Amino acid sequence: MTTAQFAAFSDNAVMFAGIVFVLALLAHVVEWAGSLARPAAVPAGAASLAPAASAAPTASADGARSVTVASGGDVEREERRRLRVETSGRIGVALTAVATLLLGAGVVSRAFASEPARVPWGNMYEFTLTGALGCSLIYLALLKRYRLRWMGLFLTGFLVAVLMLANLSLEQAAGPLVPALHSYWLVIHVGAAILATGAFSVGALASVVFLVKERLQGSAGSRLRGLLDLFPGSDDLDRLAYRLHAVGFPLWTFAALIAGPIWAEYAWGSYWNWDPKEVWAFITWVIYAAYLHARATAGWKGQAAAILALVGFATLLFNFVGINFFFGAGSMHSYAGS
């Protein structure tokens, strides 16, 4: 295949990956809609009003005992609902895996779309595609161990938004690297940043779900309880977010504070140049360091820790996207493209 054919294949693979991610998102929407359609619980005393019905005791959010009254037809409908929810969830995961394969093919073929072949993260468009691929791979790798199917709706929605941004605002034609990027540090520095970004992104999704569950749990009606049942316990969500951030932080430390300055000294003659990307990378590092330190030593858990983690993720996004839009011309990293 020629470089032009690799470039065309890459563009088509990314396009179809976006379409399949949308289908996965719709499958997870159906899954959630089915969970919201669960039968409402009624007070235990009301069970005697339905003598022909079967009743299963449950506990409401305020501790009051209640029962879900179900006749034979209701039981059958409930089984169909459960099957629909399970099937939709499995389809969503399968489609996410297919979309990830397509996106991976698009990213890899992008590497061969120029002569000579190179790493496929030479500009912001390619970095965004590779970062999205990293997020999806982390989700799929941890899916079974941590039972992350509940994250499918959030992850696919996030990836659809990221791919839309990449194609609408960041897309660039495939081509050779600019001379400033002809260095093995491009593989080391940016590769570590991509892995860290993937871990931080999935950790941020866990923090968002934790805050949503905490917000809704106390006042959730019977319908919302069906939705909340999709999520793990609050403690499990908090631990998952912490573990993902704990994995991403040393990678970010290496990328931003070790590999980056070494490459800067090699390329620009100074380890630190107060470039906007350098400054915001350090701000991101400080916030995540504060989150991990407070979480591990000061006993910060729950909403305060989750909010601090999301503040760190906001600075991460601004570093990778906002800097290019607001400081692109004045940044020493402007050759990465916006």
Residue 105 has pLDDT above 90, yes or no: yes
Give phi and psi for 48, each to the nearest 5. -70, -15
Angle at 302 between CA 297 and CA 306, to 5 degrees: 90
pLDDT digit string, tens, across residues 151-180:
999 999 999 999 999 998 888 888 888 877
* Cβ–Cβ < 8 Å for 271, 262: yes
Strand segments (E) across the chain? 42-43, 54-59, 65-70
pLDDT in tens, 16-68: 999 999 999 999 999 988 877 665 444 333 333 334 444 444 443 333 434 44
Residue 104 has pLDDT above 60, yes or no: yes
DSSP calls for 250-311 = HHHHIIIIIIHHHHHHHHHS-S----HHHHHHHHHHHHHHHHHHHHHHS---THHHHHHHHH
- DSSP secondary structure code for residue 117 in this structure: -
Residue-range domain boundaries for the chain: 178-338
Q: pLDDT at residue 181 above 90?
A: no
Only one residue has tokens 């607001």, namely: 326
Lowest mean pLDDT among 9-13, 238-242, 247-251, 317-321: 317-321
The single-letter DSSP state of residue 328 is G
User: How confident is the model at residue 316, as a pLDDT?
Assistant: 94
Please check whether residue 68 is in contact with residue 55, taking contact to mean a CB–CB distance below 8 angstroms: yes
**Interval 113-123: pLDDT, tens:** 988 889 999 88
Q: Residue 262 — pLDDT band, cuts 50, 70, 90?
A: very high
pLDDT at 9 over 90: yes
Q: What is the pLDDT of residue 338?
A: 44
Of the pLDDT bands very low, low, confident and very high (cuts 50, 70, 90), residue 234 is confident
Mean pLDDT of 286-291: 96
What pLDDT is stored for residue 71 in this prediction?
59
Query: pLDDT tens-digit profile of 195-223?
Result: 999 999 999 999 999 998 888 776 655 55
pLDDT of residue 77: 82
CA distance 21 to 247: 26
Percent of the chain with pLDDT over 70: 82
- Gap between the Cα atoms of 77 and 70, Å rounded: 9
Q: Are 306 and 212 spatial neighbours (Cβ–Cβ below 8 Å)?
A: no
pLDDT, residue 46, reads 35
Cβ(96)–Cβ(25) under 8 Å? no
* Of 69-83, 88-102, 129-143, the least confident: 69-83
Tokens 């029962």, located at residue: 67
Q: Cβ of 298: how many Cβ atoms within 10 Å?
A: 11
Whole-number pLDDT of residue 47: 36
Does residue 294 or residue 336 have the better pLDDT? 294
More confident residue, 234 or 163: 163
